[in-house]
Chains A and B, each alone.
Chain A
Amino acid sequence: MSLLTHILGWPLLAALVLAFVPRNFRFLTRLVALAATFTSAVLAVVMFVKFDTALATDFQFVQILPWVASLGISYHVGVDGLNVGLVLMGALVAFAACCCSWEIKEREKEFYILLLVMTGGILGAFASLDVFFLYFFHELALVPTFIMIGIWGRGEEKDYATFKITLYLSLGALLALIGLLALYLQMPEDKRTFDLVTMTAHFRAQAMDGSAQQFIFPLLLFGFGILVSLWPFHTWAPLGYGAAPTATAMLHAGVLKKFGLYGLIRIALPMMPEGAAMWMQWLAFLCLGNILYCGLVAMKQKDLNLLIGNSSVAHMGFVFLGIASLNVLGITGAVLVMIAHGFLAALSFGLSGYLYQQTKTLEMEKLGGLLRQMPFFGAAFVMAAMAGCGLPGFANFAGEALIFFGAWTEFRVVTILAAWGALVIGAVYMLRAVRSILHGPLPQQWHAAQDASTLWCRLPFALLIGALLLFGFFPVLLTKKIEPVAKQIVKDARAVLKPSVTVGVKN
């Protein structure tokens, strides 16, 4: 069996095992969940290390099991340079999320089962090379999200948030489904298959009918876009994350949300160059809605989770900008930011969840001076804030820099505004959060707040910060893998456009 099947299989298997563990064996429940996600994470690291960068455009760790031959559906997993980093990020974040789940005190068994199903689903969605399974795994991860927010969520608006996130994401998934089915039907009848590799190769050789592209591309763009909180379909995100239990927010904001972006890059761009040519400039303007508008909204938030939620929506704007620029720099940067933001969003929501445990409130006006009481938490939070406003040394900077260089040659005004959003607006809300939570005098009521002092408390945060720093210091670890695939995708997607403006001399 392929390593990938192990990576996504262990959490699913563990979910099955947990179903038979008695409800009151709480320690065992946790242990099984931790062991499964830990195994996944370790195997993902092994896979990432073993991945042959020289052959980054080829799929590696491939496994194919035919399932419904008549419809051309098969279980087909594999990674190339595009998704190898995403699978790694997903597995690490899942383990960190599992570590952060000690806050769940009731119905633990069900919670951990759902968490494991969600993990397996996410990893499956990123590893699948079959459109049917890709979608199936995504739904497998999506449905537990709704249930977890509905049952273990917090805050007064929990029910409304659950309702809203379900409505939005189901709608997005539905649009994407229609688009994907339409793609399938565009294949000639005798060759119809859900196999992604075959489909891409087919449409590369035999361009899809232009009018079909004009119809299908927006379905995928907006379907996937809603899943990623593309402006103006973003309002579910801050609200949903604000209400979600910590682990769910970490996994969804960090990993599952990236699925829509992955779908756009993997499916929509290379198969429908004409659609891309038509829609990318619109996307460039929509992404300003994410970067500027949601950044401004984040400035005004009084609740920390709403602030982080809006900032994560804003960060998605950079990825959209990278995609919209349709050049190697932009796409490579977009994938890099997807991975970096996965770690960062998980870190931010993990920290805010920890803070909530200590103070039972995330209203920033009530907090203050906590750096003295909680030095480890404070240091980690400052790092998250700095990574969030694009400080070099964290992986986000490398990705955002690539996106700016990529977008500059395509959309100059948009890039200028986006740079303002990244450098100034992002810094304003992040530093305001630090100022009101950590700095200033410590109010009497928080003298009892406990710092994350045990190894288990610190581990998830240390792991995520470590990953951000590792890829921040050595972005080549990722870009060397992403770039060759990005080149191929750009080549496919620009089939009808003139090649992008080339600037640059070696040194």
Chain B
Amino acid sequence: MDPSGNFDVTSMAEGELGLSSPSVVYEEPASVWHRLARNHKISIVSIVVILLFVLGAIFAPLLTPYEYDAVSLSERLMPPSPTHLFGTDEVGRDVLTRMLYGSRMSLIIGIVPTMLSMAIGTLIGMTAGYFGGKVDTIIMRVADIVMSFPSMLLAMVVMYTLGGGTFNVFLTMAFVGWAGVARVVRSETLKLKESEYVEAARIMGVRRFRIIARHILPNCLPTIIVLFTLDIPAAILTESSLSFLGMGVQPPSASWGLMVNAGRAFLYHAPWLCFAPCLAIMVIVLAFNYLGDGLRDVLDPHLQSQ
């Protein structure tokens, strides 16, 4: 205030109201890792387990003295022993070696098609959510159909028509997986579309595609990451099931599902043939599920209640 008693807001704004000093300093929110470590210790354990599996898959040739397809008929169906930790199968191949090589297939099939369906689902879901109207109706009805069709049956049909093999497994799983992603991303987009900062961007003259790319997508990412982590184990299970049914990866390639199928015939004589790959499937699926749950709690408070 100046001496004459006039209330000079302009000078006040600059000086006396404390603008020149920095405003309240906010505490940096704890990083995702910190919050995970504090509230979800099991997800940290899961990350370690997943890393071990990944390392095992990458360094498989260094970790085992055997070849995954080295047949040794003198060593058929040997029980677990120091030389063969998980025993050997019906033609004398080392089970642990085959599991290590098989984890390559399981992890790749867990991750690559899931990424593919994430990308497709996100794109489709955001288009439907943002543009709405007829586009939305058509896309979402197609998604409903894909989702209501038994996915395993659909996968089998595709595999039958296209034949087995890794690439076709990729295609099939992406084809089945996008619909669920599209649904979640669409609802998220619908919510964000009405948010004030998207409105603000529109008011500043930002075009639609830029709004989607810069303002909606980054804010969808936490949801997408959680969905990704939770979809990986589902994909691993689907791959195992397809391979178990003989429609996935073809021998002599190793895959956990294939190994369970092969071991089925020797369930009474050599149970380790089935149990070892089953255990691996269970552990990796559990690890991804726990990690996904942890990430969901940390990244996406909206999903917590579900």
Partners in one complex: no
Give B contacts to A, CB under 8 Å: none
